[in-house]
Amino acid sequence: MTSSPLLYLINDDEPRQFARRLVRVIRDDVRVGDQRGLVVSIEPPIDNVVGGTLQTAILVPRHREDLVGAIRKSSLPKPASVLVVRFAGSPKDLPVEIPKEQVSIVFWGRLGDSPDLGP
């Protein structure tokens, strides 16, 4: 990946749990189970989530959309529903294939390329 797209993330189930966050794509070459995902940094980190502060995560499309392809083309036509997944270790050391059993879902999020993530 040549550039690091800036995207916005909110909690889709409880939008008031924390303010909208800026996410930066670190890697776009991972799979969780059979789903392609994005490894992202979260700015500022999210403090009030299950499992402690969340500074990096894997975003996996909730509805089998080609999220990675859209981000690579810089064309996310509408906000996407994603699973925000916690992983252990460093983003650069993550294997390309990650079994679902080795990660945990923290919350369902909404990801967009605009601060207006709408309903």
Residue 64: the pLDDT is: 67
Handedness of CA 43, 82, 20, 113 (dihedral sign): positive
Domains of the chain, by residue range, sit at 6-112
4: confidence class by pLDDT, cuts 50, 70, 90: low
Residue with tokens 């252990």: 88
Interval 7-45: pLDDT, tens: 889 888 887 888 899 999 999 999 999 899 999 999 999
Interval 62-113: pLDDT, tens: 876 677 777 777 777 788 889 999 998 899 999 999 999 989 999 999 998 8
pTM recorded for the entire structure: 0.88
Neighbouring-strand partners of residue 109: 11, 82
Going by their DSSP bridges, the two strands 35-46 and 6-11 should be labelled as unpaired
